[in-house]
Amino acid sequence: MSGGLRVTVTGGAGFIGSNLVSWLLRHPAIGQVTVVDDCSTGSMSLLGSDLADTDFRRGSVLDAGLLDQAVARADAVVHLAALPSVPRSVLDPLASHHANATGTLQVLEAARRAGGPLVVAASSSSVYGAQPSLPKSEDSLAMPLSPYAVTKLATEAYLGAYHACYALPVLPLRFFNVYGPRQQAGHPYAAVVPTWIDAALSGSAVTVHGDGTQTRDLTCVDTVCQVITTAITDRVTSPWPVNLALGTRTSLLDLIDLLGDVLGSPLRVEHTEPRPGDVTHSQADASRLLGLFPDATAVPLREGLTRTLAWHRERRAAAGARSGQAGQRTAVGSHARTS
């Protein structure tokens, strides 16, 4: 690649980051994509064939020297690297603080040293926490209920402060329950959509914490990538946080019904205790987003779930084919040994 905008993505080996890298590499205005990721929750394999087209730097955003190299010539930095889980932060608040809050500060310092590229960073709807108003407006009071939410509030506040103190161009985005292809199931902090798809494809019951009437503004990862790409190409900035969701509201019970429809058979459901720190209702007021990004479009939930399910099926088929080949190799190997 040559010419065009140079973009550094922290957390580019994660779910949202790897989708974003794909979007950026296919955009004619983007010339180079650098990724910084320590692969603590992400994996280089998520980048697939895109890995060969990126300047991949494995390491932590807490490493100032690594960041200087990765950010030096960037026109924009998209800061997604974080430990992205409420329950994880309840178990280990300091680890979340280091990765998420101190990590953001390190990225902002690297951007400042590099002469001030645009910094777009991921905050989270969890900052609204106990705030009862619906839909959630950026003007309402943030009332975080978990250490994770506090780290995200710190993230967006630091972006605002760097704009005020150093005139750094910034865009803090509050993501709301993002889902889509490449979101991993099978780990203790996995999000609800991949976990439920994985359970359903394995023939297991899906677990609902609480009664399932809690609601979420489910946002397809393609919408997130579209908005961030536009922010970079059109240089959209805001010192104040911006909700990145289109104002939809789906209960977990409705999500279960829709997933059953898309899968072709109803899901079996088990209810367990609510989780500490979880938010009951979440729906974005999208007016600030649409003021800045009039072309932002929501992928309909059924369409997004269909794309997500297709990715899970492909991944399972590929894993099945690999274990079949390994089985054949083992059979050949054992035959060779006994002959």
Ligand X SMILES: NC(=O)c1ccc[n+]([C@@H]2O[C@H](COP(=O)([O-])OP(=O)(O)OC[C@H]3O[C@@H](n4cnc5c(N)ncnc54)[C@H](O)[C@@H]3O)[C@@H](O)[C@H]2O)c1
Q: How far is the CB of 62 from ligand X (least distance, A)?
A: 5
Question: Which region among 60-68, 135-143, 268-276, 310-318 touches ligand X (by CB under 6 A)?
Answer: 60-68
Q: How far is the CB of 326 from ligand X (least distance, A)?
A: 27
Q: How far is the CB of 250 from ligand X (least distance, A)?
A: 14
Output the six-digit token pair for 316.
């399972």
Note whether 301 binds ligand X by CB under 6 A: no
Note whether 60 binds ligand X by CB under 6 A: yes
Question: Which region among 175-183, 245-253, 273-281, 297-305 touches ligand X (by CB under 6 A)?
Answer: 175-183
Note whether 175 binds ligand X by CB under 6 A: yes
Output the six-digit token pair for 209.
């914490």
Query: Which of residues 5, 9, 15, 54 is near ligand X by CB under 6 A?
Result: 15
Note whether 248 binds ligand X by CB under 6 A: no
Q: How far is the CB of 227 from ligand X (least distance, A)?
A: 13
Q: How far is Cα 11 from Cα 189, in angstroms, rounded to an integer?
A: 17
Long-range contacts of 225-228 (CB under 8 A, 24+ apart): 225/16, 225/19, 225/20, 225/22, 225/23, 226/23, 226/295, 226/296, 226/297, 227/173, 227/289, 227/293, 227/296, 228/20, 228/23, 228/78, 228/120, 228/173
Q: How far is the CB of 91 from ligand X (least distance, A)?
A: 16
User: Mask 64-103, x = binds ligand X (CB under 6 A)?
Assistant: ----------------xxxxx--------------x---x
Note whether 56 binds ligand X by CB under 6 A: no
Q: Which residues, 179 to 198, sit near ligand X by CB under 6 A?
A: 191
Question: Which region among 35-43, 108-116, 259-267, 294-302 touches ligand X (by CB under 6 A)?
Answer: 35-43
Contact assessment for residue 149 and residue 217, using Cβ atoms and an 8 Å cutoff: no
**Radius of gyration, CA atoms only, the chain:** 21
Q: How far is the CB of 221 from ligand X (least distance, A)?
A: 8
Contact assessment for residue 271 and residue 212, using Cβ atoms and an 8 Å cutoff: yes
Output the six-digit token pair for 30.
């983007």
Q: Which residues, 93 to 152, sit near ligand X by CB under 6 A?
A: 99, 103, 122, 124
Contact assessment for residue 172 and residue 241, using Cβ atoms and an 8 Å cutoff: yes
User: 243: which residues sit within 8 A by CB, 6+ positions away?
Assistant: 125, 136, 137, 138, 173, 174, 176, 284, 285, 286, 288, 289
Contact assessment for residue 253 and residue 186, using Cβ atoms and an 8 Å cutoff: no
Query: Residue 92 or residue 334: which is nearer to ligand X going by CB?
Result: 92
Note whether 39 binds ligand X by CB under 6 A: yes
Q: How far is Cα 279 from Cα 301, in angstroms, rounded to an integer?
A: 21
Beta bridge partners of 55: 34
By the criterion CB under 6 A, which residues form the site for ligand X? 10-11, 13-17, 36-42, 60-62, 80-84, 99, 103, 122, 124, 175, 177-178, 191
